[in-house]
Amino acid sequence: MATEYRVKRGETVQSVTVLEDRGETVLVAIDGQRLELAVHALPDGRTAVTSADRRVALRALATKQGLLVVDRHVQRRFEVEDARVSWLAGAGAGKGAAGGRVTASMPGRVVRVPVVLDEIVAPGGIVAVLEAMKMENDVRAPGGGKVVEIAVKEGADVEAGALLVRLEPVHE
Amino acid sequence: MPKVLIANRGEIACRVIRACRELGLGSIAVYSDADRDARHVWLADEAVRLGPPPSKDSYLRGDLVIAAARQTGATLIHPGYGFLSENHVFREECDAAGLTFIGPGAYAMKQMGVKTTARQTMHAAGVPVVPGSLEPIATLAEAQQLCDEIGYPVMLKAASGGGGRGIRILHDASELPAGFEGAQREAAAYFGDATVYIEKAILNPRHIEIQVLADAHGNTIHLFERECSVQRRNQKIIEESPAAHLSQATRLKMGAMAVKAAQAVQYVGAGTIECLVDAHENFYFMEMNTRLQVEHPVTELATGVDLVYEQLRVALGEKLSVTQADIVQRGHAIECRIYAEDPSRGFTPAPGPLLVYRPPLGPGLRIDDGFGEGDEIPRFYDSMIAKLSAWAPDRLRAIGRMQAALDRFEIGGFAHNIEHLQQVLASESFQVGPYDTGLVGTLPPLRTTPDDDDLASAFAAIWTHRQRQAQRPAPAADSESQWQRTARTGGLRAR
């Protein structure tokens, strides 16, 4: 039975329908274009994928941030959803947007938080300084705003994605 | 046989352990809790835990390193680079404990370790130095006065720094107060010494350094130059030997200057004289690194001399195995440093697990690494994962060999700089040369998001599809027949 998937990578979304999986050959449709692929596992864990004009050896890894597909040193991160499921989820989209949350882009130690509550931060202003791998890195608030929460103390160790500072838009 | 304790981690610890093994010397690794399962720990004959992950609680604890040497009966200590390698106090503690520190004497380390003293000593020895302070700068007021005198731009440097750390460039007086405070804080945090000094910034110089080797029998030689002008954040990413373009006359003058500089501090062991070179091939002493350099493989490939082998020989009291007349540059060598960092986000470090790591092999290639597939790159230390070096009979073929090797490097699971290295190697400035330390800044922003690839997207869908098919509820439990159940439970009982 054909199954349609929404394959998301960053901003782009492709529709990939697995029309028929015959093991060593798979018939798919990418955004409506039919394509026959030869697919077989290589001994080192990669998968050889061959179309009429090209062949690649890819490695798939399931990670917390989605499906990682590695082609030598080129990596692509995908989120793959069953198209029927993503249609249902689409109704609720737009809620819970990150908004003014400034988070740590990497694990590290908080060296400094140069802002105070209620301070108005200009777009691109520095709200924290993180240290990782012997480097100090400025963390900026791209959109700026009023500081409504400071979630970390100086000297604290934080994980990637941890909330540092929350901002609210400033209405003029 | 004597045992060598390697007071380091990562690729350089592995490099030294291998050299010890080749010479038949015992090897002792040390590690922090973050490195318990690291490569170097399992490569060495024995390993001793130092302490918690932060460097200051582990790899910078000289007392613990000396205790580890005592405990295991090691009589020599190889400090690698970074950490304790340029710490003369540690060197003296080794002497007091009766341990042989593999490196120069405390006198040379003191003279060269404090950059302001080094400048004074070299100036006195007739070696050209960059204009700036010959004394450390203690207060903001002093800094302001000197900067106004020599004129902006200026460089603020940690007196005990090195390896590109603790350096700030200030373009005008408004940047001085914050820059001075930041430089002092970083210097204190990373080198345990808040002292900074000021040099006039020679914008976009070439960075060319000379490798020297000296034994305790009065022999000092140089092994020609390495060009290290490809830098980001004042840190080298690509090095080559010989330099892209350098007249033979300048090369020989720099070599002779380096030997003179080393002799001026009674240098013993392997060391490097780093110079700034301007467009007219005027060169200035910048600093001496009194240790093995990260980029030593290019010299080894271009001269055929094993620098770690020579270090160990010298430490055991022997003469160098080569003389100046033996040293010739043969062919061309290039090294690329592979970092876990994101070039599209200002080269921010990206620690994480090495989900995929399969470096290329082949004729004329060398890999120096300290990690394997599946290893976690700890966030406490440097973000360099590996060094890939290529040798070929001439420069263009060496570049080609490196490009082809990087292209087939299988690596993933975290951000890395391979596309950035490829961008540099392919640039006209690098290909044609000469180039300077401004090279990286002249390149267009790197797009690290690869183009869509239908085969990759299709594979992502197929892979997911097959995972789901495999996870479909298996035939219900009651499909197991009475016979099967009896056989299974009976089998259990039989054990």
- B481 belongs to a structural domain: no
- In a shared domain, residues A120 and A68: no
Q: Does residue B304 share a domain with residue B360?
A: yes
Interface of B with A in 419-458 (CB under 8 A): 419, 449-450, 452-458
Interface contact flag, B349 A106, Cβ < 8 Å: yes
Statement: residue B493 has pLDDT above 60: no
Q: How far is A120 from chain B (nearest CA, A)?
A: 21
List of chain B residues whose C-beta atoms are within 8 Å of the C-beta of residue A30: 454, 457-458
Confidence (pLDDT) at B417: 95
Q: Residue B487's pLDDT band (boundaries 50, 70, 90)?
A: low
Which residues, in sequence order, are bridge partners of residue A68?
A: A61, A77
B215 shares contact with chain A (CB less than 8 Å): no
Residues B195 and B269 in one domain: no
Predicted confidence (pLDDT) at residue B74 exceeds the cutoff of 60? yes
> Do A60 and A20 lie in a common domain?
yes
Closest chain A residue to B348, measured at CA:
A137
| ipTM confidence | 0.80
Residues A81 and A109 in one domain: no
Q: In whole angstroms, give the CA distance from residue B34 to residue A126.
A: 30
- Average pLDDT of span B444-468: 92
Q: Could you tell me which of B211, B242, B227, B207 has the C-alpha nearest to residue B324?
A: B211
**What's the confidence (pLDDT) of residue A84?**
77
pLDDT > 70? residue A14: yes
Task: Tell me: pLDDT of B490 over 70.
Answer: no
Range in A36-40, A52-56, A103-107 with the lowest mean pLDDT: A103-107
Least confident of A36-40, B150-154, B325-329: B150-154
Asked whether the beta carbons of residue B457 and residue A72 sit closer than 8 angstroms, the reply is no
- Domain at B28, CATH number: 3.40.50.20
Whether residue B298 lies inside any domain: the answer is yes
- The reported pLDDT for the residue numbered A133 is 78
According to DSSP H, which parts of B380-472 are helical? Answer: 395-407, 418-426, 428-432, 439-442, 454-471
The mean pLDDT of chain A is: 85
Q: Do B460 and A39 touch (CB under 8 A)?
A: no
Sort out which chain B residues have CB atoms less than 8 A from A61's CB and list them: 355-356, 412-413
pLDDT of residue B473: 66
Whole-number mean pLDDT of chain B?
92
Write the burial class of residue B278 (CB in 10 Å: 0-12 exposed, 13-18 middle, 19+ buried). Answer: middle
Lowest mean pLDDT among A14-23, B325-334, B463-472: B463-472
**Shortest CB distance from B464 goes to which of A10, A28, A67?**
A67
Distance from CA of B427 to the nearest CA of A (A): 19
Supply B454's token pair.
């239908």
For residues B194 and B398, the model is more confident at B398
Domain end position, chosen among B81, B102, B123: B102
Percent of chain A scoring above 70 in pLDDT = 90
- Tell whether A79 and A31 lie within a shared domain: yes
Distance from CA of B379 to the nearest CA of A (A): 5
Query: Are A69 and A40 within one domain?
Result: yes
Query: B466 — contact with chain A (CB < 8 Å)?
Result: yes
φ/ψ (deg, to 5) at B134: -90, -10
Q: Give A85's pLDDT tier (boundaries 50, 70, 90).
A: low
Which backbone phi and psi does A141 adopt, to 5 degrees?
A: -100, 105
Q: Which of residues 150-189 of B touch A (CB under 8 A)?
A: 165, 182, 186
Q: How confident is the model at residue B352 (pLDDT cuts 50, 70, 90)?
A: confident
- Residue range B77-102: mean pLDDT, rounded: 97
Examine the domain organization and report whether B229 and B141 are in the same domain: no
Query: Would you say residue B477 has pLDDT above 70?
Result: no
pLDDT band for position B489 (50/70/90)? low
Residues of B in contact with A67 (CB under 8 A): 460, 463-464
- Asked whether residue B191 falls in the same domain as residue B260, the answer is no
Both A74 and A9 in one domain: the answer is yes
Mean pLDDT of B126-153: 89
pLDDT band at B165; cut points 50, 70, 90: confident
Specify the higher pLDDT residue, A137 or B52. B52
Looking at residue A98, its pLDDT comes to 39
Query: How many distinct structural domains can be found in chain A?
Result: 2
**Residue that is last in its domain, among A31, A63, A90:** A90
Q: What integer is the mean pLDDT of B312-341?
A: 97
- Interatomic CA distance for residues B23 and B26, integer angstroms: 9
> A71 and A111 share a domain?
no
Contact across the interface for B455 and A56, Cβ inside 8 Å: yes
Phi and psi, residue B278, nearest 5°: -90, 180
Beta-carbon separation of B349 and A7 below 8 A: no
Q: Domain with B301 in it: what CATH number?
A: 3.30.470.20
Average pLDDT, stretch B209-232?
Answer: 97
* Pick from A46-55, B267-276, B291-300, B486-495: least confident: B486-495
Q: Is the pLDDT of residue B212 over 80?
A: yes
Q: Which residues of B touch A69 (CB under 8 A)?
A: 456, 459-460, 463
The answer on pLDDT for A91 being more than 50 is no
CATH of the domain at B159: 3.30.1490.20
> Given pLDDT bands bounded at 50, 70 and 90, which one contains residue B495?
very low
Q: What single DSSP character describes residue B345? A: G
> Per-residue pLDDT averaged across A82-100, rounded?
49
Nearest to B413 among A51, A61, A107 (CB): A61
Question: pLDDT per residue over B232-274, tens digit each?
Answer: 988 999 999 999 999 999 999 999 999 999 999 999 999 999 9
State the residue range of the domain holding A58. Answer: 3-90
For β-strands B283-289 and B269-277, DSSP reports them as antiparallel
**pLDDT at residue A90 above 50?**
no
Give a yes or no: residue A44 inside a domain: yes
Statement to judge: residues B280 and B412 lie in one domain: yes
Are A13 and A53 in a shared domain?
yes
Amino acid B438: pLDDT: 93
The number of domains in chain B is: 3
**Residues B462-474: what's their mean pLDDT?**
85
| Measured distance CA(B138)–CA(B192) in Å, rounded | 15
**Distance, in angstroms, between A72 CA and closest chain B CA?**
4
Cβ of B457 within 8 Å of Cβ of A30? The answer is yes
Q: Flag whether A137 is in a domain.
A: yes
Test A69 with B349 for CB contact under 8 angstroms: no
Q: What is the pLDDT of residues B390-405, one digit of tens each?
A: 999 999 999 999 999 9
Choose, from B61, B206, B291, B337, the residue flagged as catalytic: B291
Shared domain check, A106 and A82: no
Domain for residue B212, yes or no? yes
pLDDT at B486: 58
More confident site: A90 or B339? B339
CA distances (Å), B382 to each of A135, B165, B173, B378, in order? 9, 11, 32, 9
Contact at CB, A76 and B453, closer than 8 angstroms: yes
Whole-number Cα distances in Å, A82 to A6, A62, B366: 6, 16, 45
Sequence letter at residue B375: D
pLDDT band at B50 (very low <50, low <70, confident <90, very high): very high
- Cα separation, B109 vs B103, in Å, equals 9
Contact assignment for A58 to B459 by CB distance below 8 Å = yes
| Chain A partners within 8 Å of B186 (Cβ) | 136
Whether the per-residue pLDDT at B33 is higher than 70: the answer is yes
Give B350's pLDDT tier (boundaries 50, 70, 90): confident
| In-domain check, residue B193 | yes
Known catalytic residue: B291?
yes
- CATH classification at residue A39: 3.30.700.30
- Interface contact A73-B419, CB threshold 8 A: yes
Residues B82 and B163 in one domain: no
In terms of Cβ atoms closer than 10 Å to its own Cβ (0-12, 13-18, 19+), residue B494 is exposed
Q: Which region among A61-75, B159-173, B285-299, B410-424 has the lowest average model confidence (pLDDT)?
A: B159-173
Chain B residue closest to A17 (CA)?
B461
CA B35 – CA B47 distance, rounded (Å): 11
Domain of B286 in residue numbering reads as 206-442
* A49 neighbourhood in chain B, CB within 8 Å: 455, 458-459
Residue B483 is predicted with a pLDDT of 58
Query: How many C-beta atoms surround the C-beta of residue B291 within 10 A?
Result: 28
